[in-house]
Amino acid sequence: MKTLLIGAAGQLGVDVADAFSDTELTTADLEDADLRLDLTDAEAVTRLLAQELRPDLVINTAAAHNVPQCEEQPEVAFAVNATAVRHLAAACQACEARLIHISTDYVFGRGGTRPYTEADLPAPLNVYAASKLAGEHLIGAECDNHVIVRSSGLYGAAPCRAKGGRNFVRMMLHLAQTRPEVKVVTDEILTPTYTVALAQQIRVIAEQAEPGLYHATCNGACSWYEFARAIFEETGTETALLEATSDDFPSPVKRPGYSVLENAHLQAQGLDVMPHWRDALKAYLAASPE
């Protein structure tokens, strides 16, 4: 299988590259990859897919996902997350490649009280979420053999470039070492998802899943506060962990208070291999102890 991975130097991309390392893999990114590729350069994307590589599978993990920056620069968010994705989907259709594209739980809005399935209606609250949802629609319009994978709360060993390098786990451990107390919100509920687990799920999807929309997160749900408490428990970290709400951290960006996803489509096909979020955290800490 000839595979092209776009966004290969990112937090998820690094683990996806490992999961597909036994294929004929070409990595692409703005840096630290086999090829330098600007996803917004439609001509370069078309030339790479249709003339140079002609891959069987294209996996796109690239995105403009610094949420505050997307709010300040909506034109950039839509250029990367929507317009560029449309060109990529059209190029995949032209060369008959399967496209797997990573989307987000943020496409859902206020008022959630139960896990969202793929059948639930999105209602994005911010520019980032709206641009990602637009990308989903444009992929569906341009490429028949496409898979959209929504996930949530990603963390992994590779640095998160949009967040200054530290993922939530490392940030909590850093704060515990440098501050007398740590405050974390209780009113944002999600499912933290380990990128190694998601990469392995993407491999299963690539080989076995029918085209369409999939939710793929770790199983279970927790608040950011509960996740922080689990991090400290698993690492034996003693610190004063205090409950807070989103009102304690004012932000111009609207975020969903509940964005738990149910892997309903995967489960219906017997393809859900995602672990519980607590087990995934243990695996991450065992693999990345420092």
Note whether residue 169 is domain-resident: no
At residue 111, the pLDDT reads: 82
Model pLDDT for residues 264-287, shown as the tens digit of each residue: 999 999 999 999 999 999 999 999
String of DSSP letters for 175-233: HHHHSSEEEEESS-EE--EEHHHHHHHHHHHHHHPPSEEEE---BS-EEHHHHHHHHHH
Note whether residue 142 is domain-resident: yes
Give the chain's domain count.
Answer: 1
At residue 163, the pLDDT reads: 63
Asked whether the CA dihedral 261, 265, 266, 267 is positive or negative, the reply is positive
Res 7 pLDDT > 80: yes
Res 161 pLDDT > 80: no
Q: Which domain holds residue 110?
A: 2-157+192-219+258-276
Note whether residue 237 is domain-resident: no
Name the pTM for this structure.
0.95
Task: Indicate the DSSP class of residue 164.
Answer: T
| Average pLDDT over all residues of the chain | 95
Domain of 20, CATH number, reads 3.40.50.720
Q: How many helices and strands, by DSSP H and E, does the chain display? A: 11, 13
Res 110 pLDDT > 90: no
Note whether residue 35 is domain-resident: yes
Res 48 pLDDT > 90: yes
Note whether residue 89 is domain-resident: yes
At residue 251, the pLDDT reads: 87
Residue 128 is among the residues annotated as catalytic for this protein: yes
Note whether residue 234 is domain-resident: no
Res 162 pLDDT > 90: no
Arithmetic mean of pLDDT, 11-16 = 96
Note whether residue 265 is domain-resident: yes
Note whether residue 181 is domain-resident: no
Catalytic position from the list 116, 128, 214, 284: 128
Model pLDDT for residues 224-266, shown as the tens digit of each residue: 999 999 999 999 999 999 999 998 888 889 999 999 999 999 9
